[in-house]
């Protein structure tokens, strides 16, 4: 930056890396507020100055959205925060939501020589979103209607991203979702200490100011057939995140006190009731099988709800934990204990059918980079009063409602689309896990934005059918 005492070519050596400030462990485990605070303006400028502006920025290549990271870092270093935020938000949409959940592959690929030296891209990004968000949301003009209507069949990340981009192009967008509140995985299963509900609610209110309508609840979806959608809308986008949890299959999995971690997380959202008694963890010994992001969310939630102790069991070595490194680190800081290279064998129960312990074997490292090898044969028992399975997810096949089942699907039940993300039915588009299988949320956003561009191109052709019908 022009008034900086640092040499831009060597600032990354002169200025220590600073990450997002975090609240103290004692403070954050006592509530469900976000654990991060935000950089101040001086620190944000200094951290942005650490970017060496390399001619072939691999951080941009690593970002699924192709975020123009060096550009907004340079503007931030000069103190042009609103301009930097405009570049940042022009590369993506709903950024203040997705940046909180992104595993930051951009930082992992930074050219600076070690993980401890990488530019603090995430911290600067969070600063910019916070700095500019209120101004941008308050002053974003409502686009002039273009006379076309689009139905978006999902109020999760994929659908919201597509609806947002279409609304900015002047389309009248109606979003349908079976849940009673919009947000999808942003609110169902994502703890508030990672993404506070007020942040999601503020964005939804902004989308409604753009003119987007939300039709929510089972009835809103189940009563709308594809034929009806095609007669009332000029295009349709299917973007639901279709996933199924991988069940726990070891002996004892049906004991009382054994649950899937996602069920526990969804229960913390009282707006979406589950037909299941509340899962009580206060004062109990908790065991979590798995070490992905869902496992970390489950463990950290249990800590906040007063669990006596929380153990995560992972079959691989510590280096291959699938969770984001930051989430793994936060869980450890907050008191979660980890056991590595352990294979669950069975769950033990008492005469009343309640789980009391988990039996496992130690694994030897396979030496092939997987971190998993043959079981040692020596069994250990660990006490457990509540057990959560967090063994991951698999993509669920598309389950159409009524005549939406007429959409062509492949052998895995995924909707077949062309390069423009349009299905075999003209004017009906799809994206995300419905076409690719399970993918990270940020990649569903990439599909959603691509679909919005394709829908716009498709509907910009001269009309050849009656108004209100799907077709160019």
Mean pLDDT (whole number) for 267-279: 77
Task: State the Cα–Cα distance between residues 238 and 424, nearest whole angstrom.
Answer: 13
pLDDT at residue 78, as a whole number: 95
Most confidently modeled of 81-85, 264-268, 298-302? 298-302
| 11-139 is classed CATH 1.10.1060.10 | yes
Mean pLDDT (whole number) for 111-122: 84
Instruction: Locate CATH 1.10.1060.10 in the chain.
Output: 11-139
pLDDT at residue 143, as a whole number: 87
pLDDT at residue 221, as a whole number: 75
pLDDT at residue 398, as a whole number: 80
Length of the chain (residues): 472
Structure tokens at 405: 């089942």
CA-wise closest residue to 237 among 185, 167, 176:
176
With 90 as the cut, is the pLDDT of residue 130 above it?
Answer: no
What would you report as the CA-atom Rg of the chain, rounded to the nearest whole angstrom?
24
With 50 as the cut, is the pLDDT of residue 367 above it?
Answer: no
Structure tokens at 178: 């079976």
Model confidence at 225, in pLDDT bands (50, 70, 90)? confident
Superfamily of domain 149-243+394-459: FAD/NAD(P)-binding domain (3.50.50.60)
CA-wise closest residue to 100 among 12, 196, 171:
196
With 70 as the cut, is the pLDDT of residue 373 above it?
Answer: no
Mean pLDDT (whole number) for 19-39: 94
Model pTM above 0.85: yes
Contact status, residue 66 vs residue 50, Cβ threshold 8 Å: no
Residue keyed to tokens 């938000």: 89
Contact status, residue 367 vs residue 373, Cβ threshold 8 Å: yes
Mean pLDDT (whole number) for 378-402: 84
Mean pLDDT (whole number) for 58-69: 91
Contact status, residue 445 vs residue 96, Cβ threshold 8 Å: no
Query: What are the pLDDT digits (tens) for 418-465?
Result: 999 999 999 999 998 889 887 777 888 889 999 999 999 999 987 654
pLDDT at residue 217, as a whole number: 86
Query: What are the pLDDT digits (tens) for 169-207?
Result: 999 999 999 888 899 888 888 999 999 988 899 889 989
Taking the domain 247-391, which CATH number applies? 3.50.50.60
pLDDT at residue 272, as a whole number: 66
What percent of the chain has a predicted confidence (pLDDT) above 70? 87
Mean pLDDT (whole number) for 309-316: 96
Residue keyed to tokens 């930074």: 110
Instruction: Locate CATH 3.50.50.60 in the chain.
Output: 149-243+394-459, 247-391
């Amino acid at each position: 930056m022009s008034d900086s005492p640092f040499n831009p070519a060597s600032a990354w050596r002169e200025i220590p890396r600073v990450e997002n400030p975090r609240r103290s462990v004692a403070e954050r485990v006592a509530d469900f507020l976000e654990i991060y605070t935000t950089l101040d303006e001086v620190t944000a400028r200094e951290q942005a100055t650490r970017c060496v502006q390399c001619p072939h920025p691999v951080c941009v290549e690593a970002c699924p959205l192709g975020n123009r990271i060096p550009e907004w870092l340079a503007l931030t270093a000069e103190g042009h925060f609103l301009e930097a935020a405009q570049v940042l938000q022009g590369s993506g949409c709903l950024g203040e939501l997705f940046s909180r959940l992104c595993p930051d592959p951009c930082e992992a690929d930074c050219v600076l020589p070690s993980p401890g030296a990488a530019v603090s891209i995430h911290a600067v990004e969070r600063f910019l979103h916070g700095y500019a968000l209120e101004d941008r949301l308050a002053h974003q003009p409502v686009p002039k209607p273009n006379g076309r209507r689009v139905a978006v069949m999902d109020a999760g990340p994929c659908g919201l991203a597509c609806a947002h981009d279409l609304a900015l192009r002047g389309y009248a967008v109606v979003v349908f979702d079976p849940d009673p509140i919009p947000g999808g995985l942003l609110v169902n299963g994502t703890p508030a200490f990672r993404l506070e509900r007020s942040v999601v609610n503020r964005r939804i209110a902004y989308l409604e100011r753009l003119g987007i309508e939300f039709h929510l609840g089972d009835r809103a979806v189940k009563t709308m057939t594809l034929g009806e959608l095609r007669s009332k809308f000029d295009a349709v986008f299917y973007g639901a995140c279709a996933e199924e949890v991988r069940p726990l299959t070891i002996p004892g999995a049906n004991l009382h006190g054994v649950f899937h971690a996602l069920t526990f997380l969804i229960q913390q959202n009282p707006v979406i009731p589950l037909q299941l008694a509340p899962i009580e963890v206060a004062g109990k010994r908790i065991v979590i099988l798995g070490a992905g992001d869902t496992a970390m969310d489950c463990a950290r939630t249990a800590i906040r709800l007063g669990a006596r102790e929380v153990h995560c069991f992972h079959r691989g070595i510590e280096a291959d934990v699938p969770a984001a490194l930051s989430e793994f680190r936060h869980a450890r800081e907050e008191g979660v204990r980890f056991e590595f290279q352990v294979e669950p064998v069975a769950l033990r129960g008492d005469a009343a059918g309640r789980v009391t312990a988990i039996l496992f074997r130690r694994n030897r490292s396979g030496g092939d980079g997987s971190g998993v090898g043959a079981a040692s044969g020596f069994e250990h028992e660990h006490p457990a009063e509540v057990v959560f399975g967090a063994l991951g997810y698999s993509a669920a096949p598309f389950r159409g409602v009524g005549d939406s089942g007429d959409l062509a699907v492949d052998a895995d039940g995924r909707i077949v689309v062309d390069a423009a993300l349009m299905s075999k039915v003209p004017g009906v588009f799809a994206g995300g896990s419905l076409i690719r299988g399970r993918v990270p949320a940020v990649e569903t956003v990439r599909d959603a934005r691509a679909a919005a561009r394709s829908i716009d191109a498709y509907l910009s052709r001269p009309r050849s059918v009656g108004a209100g019908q799907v077709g160019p």
